[in-house]
């Protein structure tokens, strides 16, 4: 158990550390709903996940159903978003592709966030030369742009959706490590951590049970914002032919296939591009709202 004997009544360990405290559920949601960007972001993200879950059932056509006589059609009653170069319904492909694009981006971000949180908390706890070596290594990796780093990893591992997810997760790990470490350094000095060490608790126990729960708030905010970057990065890798492969209906791949035919119909490239932008905007706004809701100073 955390040692709270030296805390003022009503004060959490996170408050004493000068880091975001755990917020009661009702207070958290009321703060989030008072934030315009939080409300809009939450609404967009809920809509996105509804489409992710129900997309295949809402799609009016099969995503790979071709109709050579219906190529390059604009929006109509039969095809709300028009058709592509093979006569496939664009709306159906976007609804089916939402699962691949959004869920894989969330998975990649979760992997990078989990690795970064554990590494950052571990370096803050151990300190000394280990911390110095780990942070200098992280700084060296952070000097490489995320897209370039992901491209390098995918090229080494090969072109596939799974490798693209792994590349994005690995590319996000260094920045999450630095963010987590900055908060964990303050938590490391708290009495409840020292009490756990004095009790003879193992290193893994102190890191996972005592420190990580007290650095989770900024990690959640950063995770939400990073999902937006992951969606764009995953779409970029697919656009470059390094992520999803045909005939997948991933949004970046749809835009890549449409660029040769956009002079025939602008709708082919417009809708998948707008879908990527909508997801990125939604998660960015939600991240801003969460940051305000979890900030103890507001």
pLDDT digit string, tens, across residues 85-106: 888 999 999 999 888 888 888 9
In sequence order, what are the residues at sequence separation of 6 or more whose Cβ sits closer than 8 angstroms to the Cβ of residue 252? 101, 234, 235, 236, 237, 238, 239, 243, 244, 272, 276
- For 216-220, the CB contacts below 8 A with 24+ separation are 217/14, 217/19, 217/20, 217/21, 217/22, 217/23, 217/294, 218/19, 218/20, 218/179, 218/180, 218/183, 218/294, 219/113, 219/117, 219/176, 219/179, 219/180, 220/290, 220/294
Give the three-state DSSP class for 88: coil
pLDDT band at 8; cut points 50, 70, 90: very low
Q: Is the pLDDT of residue 14 over 70?
A: no
pLDDT in the model for residue 162? 86
Strand partners, 83: 89
Choice among 10-14, 197-201, 220-224 with the minimum mean pLDDT: 10-14
Task: State how far the Cα of 298 lies from the Cα of 172, in Å rounded to an integer.
Answer: 28
pLDDT in the model for residue 23? 42
Q: What is the pLDDT of residues 263-283, one digit of tens each?
A: 888 888 899 999 999 998 999
In sequence order, what are the residues at sequence separation of 6 or more whose Cβ sits closer than 8 angstroms to the Cβ of residue 142? 174, 175, 178
Q: What is the arithmetic mean of pLDDT over 42-65?
A: 89
Q: Which residue has the higher pLDDT, 273 or 240?
A: 273
Task: State how far the Cα of 252 lies from the Cα of 241, in Å rounded to an integer.
Answer: 9
Average model confidence (pLDDT) for the chain?
82
pLDDT band at 4; cut points 50, 70, 90: very low
Q: Scanning the structure block, which residue is given the tokens 């496939």?
A: 88
Q: Is the pLDDT of residue 110 over 90?
A: yes
pLDDT band at 296; cut points 50, 70, 90: low
Choice among 68-82, 95-109, 129-143, 233-247 with the minimum mean pLDDT: 233-247
**Total residues found in the chain within this entry:** 298
Q: Scanning the structure block, which residue is given the tokens 């992951």?
A: 230
pLDDT in the model for residue 28? 63
Q: Is the pLDDT of residue 18 over 50?
A: no
User: For residue 277, what are the CA distances in angstroms to 44, 45, 46, 146, 165?
Assistant: 11, 12, 16, 19, 19
Q: What is the arithmetic mean of pLDDT over 12-21?
A: 43
Q: Are 74 and 249 in contact (CB under 8 A)?
A: no
Q: Scanning the structure block, which residue is given the tokens 């993200």?
A: 45
Q: What is the pLDDT of residues 135-159, one digit of tens each?
A: 999 988 888 888 888 888 888 888 8
Q: Is the pLDDT of residue 208 over 90?
A: no
């Amino acid at each position: 158990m955390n040692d709270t004997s030296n805390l003022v009544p009503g004060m959490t360990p996170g408050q004493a550390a000068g880091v975001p405290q755990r917020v009661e559920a009702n207070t958290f949601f009321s703060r989030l709903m008072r934030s315009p960007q939080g409300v809009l972001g939450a609404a967009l993200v809920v809509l996105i996940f509804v489409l992710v879950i129900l997309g295949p059932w809402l799609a009016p056509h099969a995503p790979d159903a071709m109709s050579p006589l219906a190529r390059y059609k604009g929006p109509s009653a039969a095809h709300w978003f028009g058709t592509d170069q093979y006569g496939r319904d664009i709306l159906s492909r976007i609804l089916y592709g939402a699962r691949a694009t959004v869920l894989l981006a969330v998975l990649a971000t979760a992997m990078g966030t989990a690795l970064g949180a554990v590494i950052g908390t571990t370096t803050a706890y151990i300190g000394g030369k280990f911390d110095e070596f780990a942070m200098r290594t992280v700084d060296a990796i952070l000097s490489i742009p995320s897209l370039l780093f992901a491209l390098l990893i995918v090229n080494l591992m090969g072109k596939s959706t799974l490798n693209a997810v792994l590349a994005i997760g690995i590319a996000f790990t260094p920045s999450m490590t630095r963010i987590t470490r900055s908060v964990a350094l303050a938590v490391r000095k708290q009495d409840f951590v020292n009490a756990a060490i004095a009790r003879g608790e193992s290193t893994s126990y102190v890191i996972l049970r005592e420190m990580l729960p007290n650095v989770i708030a900024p990690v959640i905010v950063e995770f939400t914002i990073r999902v937006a970057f992951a969606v764009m990065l995953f779409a970029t890798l697919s656009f470059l032919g390094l992520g999803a492969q045909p005939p997948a209906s991933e949004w970046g791949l749809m835009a890549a296939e449409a660029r040769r035919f956009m002079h025939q119909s602008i709708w082919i490239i417009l809708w998948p591009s707008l879908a990527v932008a909508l997801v990125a905007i939604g998660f960015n706004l939600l991240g801003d709202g969460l940051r305000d809701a979890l900030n103890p100073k507001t």
